[in-house]
Structure 1
Amino acid sequence: MKQAMLIVNPSSGKELGKHYSDHALKTMKEMGYETFLRLTKGEGDAMEFAREACEKRYDFLAAMGGDGTINEAINGMAEQEHRPLFGLIPLGTVNDFARALNIPMKPEEAIEIFKQNHVQKTDVGKINDRYFVNIVAVGALAEASFSTPVEQKSKLGPLAYIIEGMKKMKEKQPFELKVQSEHDWEGEALLMLIALTNSVGGMETIAPEAKVNDGQLHVFIIKDMALPQFLLLLPKILLGELAGSEHVHYMKVTNLQANSTYEMIANVDGDEGDMLPITIENLKQHLDILVPNKK
Structure 2
Amino acid sequence: MKKAMFILNPSAGKEQAADYREQVEKTLSSMGYEVDTRETQKQKDATHFAEEACEKEYDFVVAMGGDGTINEAVSGLAEKKHQPLFSLIPLGTVNDFARALGISLDPPEAIEALKTGYEKRVDIAKVDKHYFMNILAIGDIAESTYEVDSEQKTKLGALAYFIEGVKAIAAESETYFEVEHDHGTWSGEAKLILAALTNSVGGFEKLAPQALTDDGLLHLYIVKNAALPAFLRIATSAIRGKLEEDPAVEVVHTTKVSIKTSEPLSSNIDGDEGCTTPFVIEVLPKHIRALIPPEKA
Normalising by structure 2, report the TM-score.
0.96
Partner Cα distance (2:166, 2:224) in 1: 18
Aligned length: 295
Q: For 1:146, give the aligned amino acid.
A: Y
- Secondary structure of the equivalent of 2:47? helix
Task: Indicate whether 1:290 and 2:291 are aligned.
Answer: yes
Instruction: Report the Cα offset of residue 172 of structure 1.
Output: 2.4
Q: For 1:190, give the aligned amino acid.
A: K
- Secondary structure of the equivalent of 2:92? coil
Task: Tell whether the 8 Å contact from 1:113 to 1:290 is kept in structure 2 after alignment.
Answer: no
Gaps of 5+ in 1: none
Using a 3 Å threshold, how does the CA distance of structure 1 residues 59 and 250 change in structure 2: closer, same or farther? same
Partner Cα distance (1:154, 1:84) in 2: 32
Partner Cα distance (1:135, 1:174) in 2: 22
Gaps of 5+ in 2: none
**Structure 2 match to 1:263:** 264
Q: For 1:268, give the aligned amino acid.
A: I
Instruction: Report the Cα offset of residue 263 of structure 1.
Output: 2.2
Task: Tell whether the 8 Å contact from 2:259 to 2:278 is kept in structure 1 after alignment.
Answer: yes
- Secondary structure of the equivalent of 1:138? strand
**Structure 2 match to 1:208:** 209
**Structure 2 match to 1:132:** 132
Instruction: Report the Cα offset of residue 286 of structure 1.
Output: 0.4
| Alignment deviations for residues 40-59 of structure 1 (CA, whole Å, 9 cap, x no partner) | 11111100000000000000
Task: Indicate whether 1:9 and 2:9 are aligned.
Answer: yes
**Structure 2 match to 1:146:** 146
Query: What is the percentage of aligned positions where both structures have the same residue?
Result: 48
Q: For 1:162, give the aligned amino acid.
A: F
| Alignment deviations for residues 131-166 of structure 1 (CA, whole Å, 9 cap, x no partner) | 001111111011132221110001111111111111
Partner Cα distance (1:48, 1:227) in 2: 42
- Secondary structure of the equivalent of 1:213? coil
Matches within 5 A, 1:167-246: 167-183=167-183, 184-246=185-247
Partner Cα distance (2:144, 2:270) in 1: 12
- Secondary structure of the equivalent of 2:48? helix
Normalising by structure 1, report the TM-score.
0.97
**Structure 1 match to 2:24:** 24
Q: For 2:57, give the aligned amino acid.
A: R
RMSD after superposition:
1.2
- Secondary structure of the equivalent of 2:69? helix
Task: Tell whether the 8 Å contact from 2:166 to 2:228 is kept in structure 1 after alignment.
Answer: no
Partner Cα distance (2:270, 2:287) in 1: 18
| Alignment deviations for residues 173-222 of structure 1 (CA, whole Å, 9 cap, x no partner) | 22110011212111111111100011111111211111111100000111
**Structure 1 match to 2:54:** 54
Q: For 1:251, give the aligned amino acid.
A: V
**Structure 2 match to 1:120:** 120
| Alignment deviations for residues 54-100 of structure 1 (CA, whole Å, 9 cap, x no partner) | 00000001001111110000111100111100010011111111111
| Alignment deviations for residues 91-139 of structure 1 (CA, whole Å, 9 cap, x no partner) | 1111111111110011111111110131121111111111001111111
- Secondary structure of the equivalent of 1:121? strand
Task: Tell whether the 8 Å contact from 1:172 to 1:227 is kept in structure 2 after alignment.
Answer: no
Q: For 1:172, give the aligned amino acid.
A: E
- Secondary structure of the equivalent of 2:203? coil
- Secondary structure of the equivalent of 2:53? helix
Instruction: Report the Cα offset of residue 226 of structure 1.
Output: 3.9
Q: For 2:192, give the aligned amino acid.
A: L
Q: For 2:91, give the aligned amino acid.
A: L
